[in-house]
Amino acid sequence: MIKKISIGIIVLLILIQFIPYEKNESSASEFDVSKSYNVPDNVSMILKGACNDCHTNSTIYPWYSYIEPVGLFLNRHITEGKGHLNFSEFTNRPLAWQNHKFEETIEMVEEKEMPLESYTFFGLHPEANLTDQDRKVLIDWAKDQMAMLAATYPADSLVMKRRTPPAQ
Ligand code: HEC
């Protein structure tokens, strides 16, 4: 019995290695955040080390991502992270959305909710263990971008519009 179950598990583990899914590896940069906003090198370094794997269209895949189900677990974070915020397609969204995402970035980094905790488990991605100074650099940058938007565009273009509910 135990032998059968073990064989079953091994077969399953082998089979899931072949589940196909698309890798997040596009180099298109037409709508990259850097196209409309100033992203200085020190900010770019922090984003690259701590955020871009889950919040751009180009993930740097570590070796263990090629082992399932680890890869599928990582892929879910990437898809979900990009669904909330994608720096590679940032300027393709309405201004109010962009403004709101800077605001959320400030909140997430201040509250230490980002980068996701699991990203640095077991000593992985050591460069993503942000120091207080790194967090301040990122927060100040996002605040500067919001101030620039506020100084450049009419206030109502920066307000997220709620969808009006359909008429009854
Ligand atoms: C390992 C993947 C991963 C990394 C690395 C990561 N994030 Fe996220 N991020 C997510 C996921 C998943 C979500 C959506 C679920 C959630 O809010 O927890 C998210 C959501 C967000 C949101 C949107 C929150 C909202 O309310 O919609 C912001 C802003 C954000 N992340 C900023 C960052 C910043 C800035 C960094 C780098 C300092 C970062 N993230 C690093 C996976 C990641």
Cα 137 to ligand 1 centroid, rounded to whole Å? 17
What is the residue with the minimal CA distance to atom 6 of ligand 1? Answer: 115
Pocket of ligand 1 (CB under 6 A): 50-51, 53-55, 77, 80-81, 84-85, 101, 104-105, 108-109, 114-116, 119
Short-list 41, 37, 42, 34, CA closest to 149: 37
Angle at 146 between CA 105 and CA 129, to 5 degrees: 30
The four Cα atoms 140, 145, 150, 155 give a dihedral, to 10 degrees, of -110
pLDDT value for 168: 59
What is the residue with the minimal CA distance to atom 14 of ligand 1? Answer: 81
Residue 127 makes CB contacts below 8 A (sequence gap 6+) with 49, 50
Q: What is the pLDDT along the chain (168 residues), one digit of tens a residue?
A: 899 999 999 999 999 999 888 899 998 999 999 999 999 999 999 999 999 999 999 999 999 999 999 999 999 999 999 999 999 999 999 999 999 999 999 999 999 999 999 999 999 999 999 999 999 999 999 999 999 999 999 999 999 887 766 765
Write out pLDDT tens, residues 70-111.
Answer: 999 999 999 999 999 999 999 999 999 999 999 999 999 999
Q: Which atom of ligand 1 is nearest to the CA of 46?
A: 38
